[in-house]
Amino acid sequence: MIFRTALAFLAAATMATAKTNFVLIFCDDLGYGDLSCFGHPTIHTPHLDRLANEGQKWTSFYAAASVCTPSRAGLMTGRLPIRNGMCSSKRRVLFPDSAKGLPKSEITVAEALKGAGYATAMVGKWHLGHLPDYLPTANGFESYYGVPYSNDMDRIAGKGPKGREGLMKPKSEYWNVPLMHNTEILERSPNQAYLTRNYTNQAVAYIEAQAKSEKPFFLYLAHSMPHVPIFASGAFSGTSHAGRYGDVIEEIDWSVGQVVKTLQAQGIDEETVVVFTSDNGPWLPFKTHGGSAGHLRDGKGSTWEGGMREPTVFWGPGIVETGIVHEMGSALDIFATFLDLAGVALPEDRIYDGASLAPVLAGRGHSPRQEMFYYHGSELYAVRKGEYKLHFTTKTEYIGQKPMKHESPVLYHLGEDPGEKFDVAKENPKVVEALVQLAETHKGSFTPPESHLEARIPRGEN
């Protein structure tokens, strides 16, 4: 199903006013099974557990893609990356030598809210273009503090052990990543052990400042962790039963607690919706430095469930009804949801791939999302409708296998088999036929534009 320009529900107008604030907390490479409220036995996340108990825990919530850049493009625009050139099968993410970023023709959720009178700020990892024309400040955010791409990029030649060993025994000086304020580089090779804490301090300061303003605000807090190389500050280093990775997740949980504590201290918690989710699944080849997809199959980079289904929590006293939601949702829906809660109409000049979840958050309706399209780069690998998911091509990521194109697509019932172990295509030929037709209709509904991920800065100019 393609969700078009009109908002699906009018009920949201009675749930929240245009004064509703939004805090979107986004992790990098967090696995479905990495939080205690999603089943991890040794990582303790009491602050997120509390939010899940007081708000809504979504058990079937999807990232827009299985790697960083296209996933974030979908989050920011409410549109599949295949529609706006923010995906590629040749270069699957943006790099420090990338010449482009999110197209200017795209409307971000920050731009839409800013146009409706919201204050906007971003803290953390952007990864939608590091050049001035593509930074957060060119995409609706009034301020930006953070690292513009992944923390393992800009590796300095000759620094530290080569290859994966340097990622498993990391030091911040191995990477020349920039820490930025707006469009200026504050420093290179910042101490990554303090990234989570610094991001948190920036977020808290922003909330405190905005609480004194009459303007509602949108804060996008995008952590660089737990993308490798992983670092935790001294207060958390060596404290988790789950080792270094557990230290990192527990510090992110602390960060969530600081944000919520600040909202409460400023008396604006009942005017604010907080969303916590991630860009894609765990980076499994890094063993104990990567996360866990729990009972789901595979991880980051793949279109198996472990690559795109994310642990997700919505919280907002008086706005979000307590409960567990087993229906489908996606980061693609956040754009429409925030605009709906803010009383802002969706732009009418383009097709959206998300719809408002506001009625579900209020406990007044079902999710409008019945379908999910799983892209690997620019190629559609799988499609889900209801409980059934059909794979046309499968690939286990990051360990060398080539894509396997299935002459006869494989089918899984995700209700009975969320781990995608048992192919039920032969028993359900009509379901297979219907999903094949759904995929063909979807692919025939648009012409993909030129990719923005493939253009490179000429050597010597970056």
Domain ranges in the chain are: 11-369, 373-443
pLDDT in tens, 79-122: 999 999 999 999 999 999 999 999 999 999 999 999 999 999 99
Q: Residue 3 above 80 pLDDT?
A: no
Q: Quick one: 430 exposed, middle or buried, by C-beta within 10 A (0-12, 13-18, 19+)?
A: exposed
Catalytic status, residue 27: no
**What is the C-alpha separation between 224 and 28, in angstroms, rounded?**
6
Residue 11 pLDDT level (bands cut at 50, 70, 90) = very low
Catalytic status, residue 68: yes
% of residues, the chain, pLDDT over 70: 95
pLDDT in tens, 378-405: 999 999 999 999 999 999 876 667 899 9
> What average pLDDT score do residues 224-229 get?
98
Residue 4 pLDDT level (bands cut at 50, 70, 90) = very low
Higher pLDDT, 7 or 226: 226
Higher pLDDT, 128 or 12: 128
pLDDT in tens, 329-345: 999 999 999 999 999 99
pLDDT in tens, 131-184: 999 999 999 999 999 999 999 999 999 999 988 899 999 999 999 999 999 999
Protein fold of 373-443: Arylsulfatase, C-terminal domain (3.30.1120)
pLDDT in tens, 298-309: 999 999 999 999
State the average pLDDT for the chain.
94
Instruction: Check 68, 130, 289, 442 and give the catalytic one.
Output: 68
Looking at 3.40.50.720, 2.60.40.10, 3.40.720.10, 3.40.1180.10, the CATH number of the domain 11-369 comes to 3.40.720.10
% of residues, the chain, pLDDT over 90: 92
Instruction: Check 44, 127, 376, 391 and give the catalytic one.
Output: 127
pLDDT at 360: 98
Q: Residue 261 above 70 pLDDT?
A: yes
Residue 462 pLDDT level (bands cut at 50, 70, 90) = low
pLDDT in tens, 266-317: 999 999 999 999 999 999 999 999 999 999 999 999 999 999 999 999 999 9
pLDDT at 299: 96
pLDDT at 434: 98
